[in-house]
Amino acid sequence: MLSRRELVRLELAAFALAATVILVMLVITLDAIRFHLPALEANAPGSFPLLLVLAVEAMIVAVLAASIARQAVRQRALRGRLPARRARVHDTEVFVLPTPRPLAFCLGLLRPRIYLSEGLLNELDASELLSVVAHERHHARRRDPLRAVLAKALAHALWFVPALKTAASAQATIAELAADQVAIRTAGAQPLAGALATFDRGGRPATAERAMQLAGRAPIRRSAEGVAVGTAVVLLALLLGAGWLLLPDPLAICLPLSTDPAASLAVLLLACLPAALLARSASRIDYG
């Protein structure tokens, strides 16, 4: 069974990787702005790679902002369109949708709301309903919709880091499994199984991972060597790029990092450690 610690470790590692890439790029940008402006202006031989890095950075920021904005607007619009009425179920504020289909989901980035359908309220018994409410309450408390939006936006913006895409999809899977664990602890395994069977009849079958966890079986362990290799290649490229820019020739710079090439390399390698941990973490995640 996956622990919540694994989810937290995955999220921390994914954000560490994104932060590493962004920080390395920031160092390069600051260096370019502070020391290479004349070179850039004079169209010197060294200006092209710098301009390229700056253009890539601008693109990353634009894609990140656009992705977050697009997803936030979509969620807001959907929330506005849903004809829901407020209700209290098992001491929890929920929004009830007037549809006979069995539905339950959590929507909203900063103040997530729990939506349940009338069909679900009619079909489930009290303990099954408690398990669904516990599951959705866990999503809401952790702000899982916001986490999913950020993970997706990072994967979009840093598309050249394949580990982030894997991390985003693994995060979605593990978030479901973690919410199911809370549901099982709150109401028991049988009520959750009953609730999942109802969703299944309503045309929304549970994923294989959730069914396996419910059956008490360990999810399939998938090797993710490709992710580790991809991450290593990206980090190597970043290191080489940063190292090249930090060379005194042809572009003289005064960053403390450049005064001692060995120290520079050591610092950059250290900076990439969290990302290296992600490669390990991602290859250890269990999902079917």
Residues that bind Zn ion (CB under 5 A): 176, 179
CB of 7 to Zn ion, least distance (A): 13
CB of 153 to Zn ion, least distance (A): 20
CB of 176 to Zn ion, least distance (A): 5
57: number of Cβ within 10 Å: 16
d(CA 74, CA 80): 10
For residues 116 and 228, which CB has a smaller minimum distance to Zn ion in the complex? 116
* Angle at CA of residue 288, ends 115 and 199, nearest 5°: 30
For residues 1 and 22, which CB has a smaller minimum distance to Zn ion in the complex? 1
CB of 78 to Zn ion, least distance (A): 16
For residues 128 and 176, which CB has a smaller minimum distance to Zn ion in the complex? 176
d(CA 130, CA 186): 8
Q: What's 99's DSSP letter? A: -
Peptide bond before 250: cis, by omega within 30 degrees of 0?
Answer: yes
CB of 91 to Zn ion, least distance (A): 19
CB of 154 to Zn ion, least distance (A): 21
For residues 1 and 239, which CB has a smaller minimum distance to Zn ion in the complex? 1
Of 171, 200, 199, 196, nearest in space to 184 by CA: 196
The label of the residue with tokens 């560490």 reads 16
Q: Which residues of 87-116 are buried (b: 16+ CB within 10 A; e: fewer)?
A: eebbeeebbbbeeeebbbebbbbeebbbbb
For residues 27 and 172, which CB has a smaller minimum distance to Zn ion in the complex? 172
For residues 123 and 176, which CB has a smaller minimum distance to Zn ion in the complex? 176
- Give the helix, strand, coil percentages of the chain, each rounded to 5: 70, 10, 20
